[in-house]
Structure 1
Amino acid sequence: MPKSRTSSFTRRGFIAAGGALGLVAALAACGGTDSKGDGGADKGAAASGPWTFKDDLGKDVSTKAKPKNIVAFTGTAAALYDYGVPVKGVFGPTKTADGKPDVQAGSMDISKVEIIGNVYDEFNVEKYAALQPDLLVTNTWDGSYWYVPEASKDKILQLAPAAAISVGGDATLDKALERTAELAKSLGADMNDKKAVDAKARFEAAAAKVREATKANPGIKVLVGSGSADLFYVSTPDTSADLKYFKSLGVEFVTPEKLDEGGFFESLSWENAGKYKADVVFLDNRTGTLQPEDLKAKATWAELPAVKAGQITPRVTEPIYSYDKCAVILEDLAKAIQNAKKVG
């Protein structure tokens, strides 16, 4: 499990290089009709009427009736759950080695969903088919379907239409949240429900707190890092939806000079982990990446100024794109910047 989780992070660059772009054509073959979507709005059709949604690959995804048997990438499923839209099955990090919910499962009860793949490149097509899926939902970073394996994508995409929400490219956190909410609404979520309204208000208030913190404590440099046994990855703030949004709120990031092939991060040996100085380390919280307790044995980690100062905050590297979950991320970020001292 840990090795696979780390692999999902390091392989992202190769995915971004275009290895799975052929999936776009496959969606067109399996995804539906000539009916036109309108950006995800539910046109108020009866439950027995047709359903359409224009996804972030530009595809008009259609089904004969509003989908009921939904299978989704774990993080996307968790976001739909927050809006009251249940899924039948999930693929992606869902259960840890000790049987507990993965961080990407959010508030879902993982005992009530069929796990058809728990690590990168794992997707049980037979289990998927047995669920009689009406719709597959995932994210997209680069034009591919996140966590849909290249080797079996054609079989998977023939079984049900697929919709993808962009969390890379030109997408920013606020836009990804808006699009996920539109998808949830089209699938039956009540966006006027008090819980949904309050969550959005909390998110907007938290964004204001980040702006205030960056103005009140200017010049704080944040390094976005992820640790594996052999390498320390320093992410650029210019490719991921969350980091681009945080940057727009005034957060000052360390920008690595020499990005790997995919353009997401620079890989540093642990000998060179001190290449960049920062006041705060925003550390990948995903299962399979090394956490502060694991990193204590790395001498160069211990020597980082931010680490010495205890200024480490978890980064939710693959956010659950619901306002409820992202409000917490912003609140934690605001506190980290507000309380940070210049040490880099």
Structure 2
Amino acid sequence: MPNARAYHLTRRGILAAGGALGLGVALAACGKDDTENGGSGKGSAKDAGPWSFKDDRGTTAEAKATPKNIVAFTGTAAALYDYGIQVKGVFGPTETPEGKPDVQAGDMDISKLEILGNVWGEFNVEKYAALAPELLVTDMWEKNALWYVPDQSKDKILKLAPSVALKAAEINMPAALARRAQLAESLGADLKSKQFADAKARFEQAAERLRKAAKARPGIKVLIGSGSADLFYISSPERPTDLKYFKELGVDIITPSKLDATGWFEELSWENAAKYEADIIMMDNRTGTLQPGDLAKSKPTWAGLPAVKAGQVIPRVTEPIYSYAKCAPILEDLAKAIENAKKVA
């Protein structure tokens, strides 16, 4: 995404990250590819020694003791939770309009969390300060832009506690997973536990299954889409962590021919939804995007797509929860879809 758009986001820019964001959410994120820098791990939840962690901006967060009052972007908080690290507050999609946990909340009990903001642009600085935060953690999709930390209040927010920002684009899924695990370990997670070993082994087995499925079915083409009322967004596989990894494993992902200026996706009117022939469609599962059931009722061109008629549409976890336990099923589901797909395009 061009630098000019990294800080001045239009409605179209809001729809950029990972393919297309739902209504009321937006792009703002990133970092420096630094998967080797890791956390220095000085101290843990069991001792009071100094703590530090070098993030993907190249910034080192430091504290006199391992942070315990942690506030994080919801999806990142959910990943930390899977490693046994609980946060005090969250910001980002956490609760649906029906009062249920958002997909990005993972296994967290949201009733026990202080929700500082539930949609793009919301971040209650007063509530944040009241939590006496010792660490802020979020993702980055574009360089030096912090995911779901509003620009207008960013300076106030960052003055209240050290911050860590981890890349959610430009690197592949294993690299993103490794970074969250490094952070969790620095905060006291036990990466030598059987639970961690089993989750990582399942992820690695899922990756191998997807590699074999892609190799066995080389003609199966996969389209990555996201639906809004007016447009069908087709994501490029070049930047998101999940799509980069799928390609590395051999999955034939369709690359749009006319990307918008951000380089993330191509916009199609629904009249032109059939521009690309696909055997499988992966559709953005985030709150605010139109789901296949909605599209079937309102978009005749959607219903006519070969993959749709064949029942070969699966969800795409556009913003993965970067724990091995949560990412393994993503690979397994895609592998299963490719293994069972009919050639329809």
The alignment status of 1:163 with 2:168, answered yes or no, reads: no
How do 1:231-310 residues align onto structure 2 when only pairs under 5 Å count?
A: 231-296=231-296, 297-310=298-311
Is the 8 Å Cα contact of residues 42 and 50 (structure 2) preserved in structure 1?
no
Call closer, same or farther: CA 1:40–1:83 in 2, change over 3 Å: same
Please give the secondary structure, in 1, of the residue aligned with 2:289: coil
Instruction: State the Cα distance separating 1:278 from its structure 2 match.
Output: 0.4
Runs of 4+ that moved beyond 4 A:
6-9
Match of 1:34 in 2: none
AA partner of residue 132 (structure 1): A
CA shift, 1:219, in A, is 1.2
Match of 1:10 among 1, 6, 15: 15
Q: 1:204 is paired with a residue of what secondary structure?
A: helix
Give TM-score, length-normalised by structure 2. Answer: 0.89
* AA at the equivalent of 2:114: E
Q: Which amino acid aligns with 2:295?
A: L
TM-aligned CA deviation for residue 44 of structure 1: 4.4
- Give the 3-state SS of the residue equivalent to 2:138 in structure 1: strand
**CA offset at residue 127 of structure 1?**
0.8
Distance in 1 (CA, whole Å) between partners of 2:12 and 2:330 is 24
Match of 2:215 in 1: 215
Q: Measure how far apart 1:41 and its partner are.
A: 3.7
Q: Identity rate of aligned residues, in percent?
A: 66
Aligned to 1:42: 41
CA RMSD of superposed structures (Å): 2.1
CA contact (8 A) 2:295 2:302 kept: yes
CA distance in 2 between counterparts of 1:219 and 1:138 reads 38
Matches within 5 A, 1:13-162: 39-44=38-43, 47-143=47-143, 144-162=145-163
The alpha-carbon deviation at position 261 of structure 1 amounts to: 2.0
Conserved? CA contact 1:7–1:120, under 8 Å:
no
Task: Please give the per-residue CA displacement for 1:298-331, whole angstroms capped at 9, x wherever unaligned.
Answer: 0110111111111001000000000000001111
User: Counterpart of 2:106 in structure 1: which amino acid?
Assistant: G
Change in 2 beyond 3 A, CA 1:189/1:212: same
Checking the alignment, whether the CA contact within 8 Å between 1:8 and 1:120 is kept in structure 2 is no
> 1:194 is matched with which residue?
194
Which residue type is aligned with residue 344 of structure 2?
V
Q: Which amino acid aligns with 1:331?
A: E
Q: How many residues align?
A: 322
Task: Give how far 1:38 is off.
Answer: 5.1
What whole-Å deviation, never above 9, does each CA across 1:110-164 have from its counterpart, x for those lacking one? 0111000001111111111111100000111112111111111111111111101
Structure 1 stretch 43-52 or stretch 82-91: which is displaced more? 43-52
Aligned equivalent of 1:27: none
1:31 — aligned with what?
none
CA–CA separation in structure 1 for the residues paired with 2:201 and 2:273: 39
DSSP 3-state at the match of 1:325: helix
Q: Which runs of 5+ in 2 are unaligned?
A: 1-10, 19-26
- Following superposition, the deviation at residue 63 of structure 1 comes to 1.2
137-146 or 71-80, which deviates more: 137-146
Match of 2:341 in 1: 340
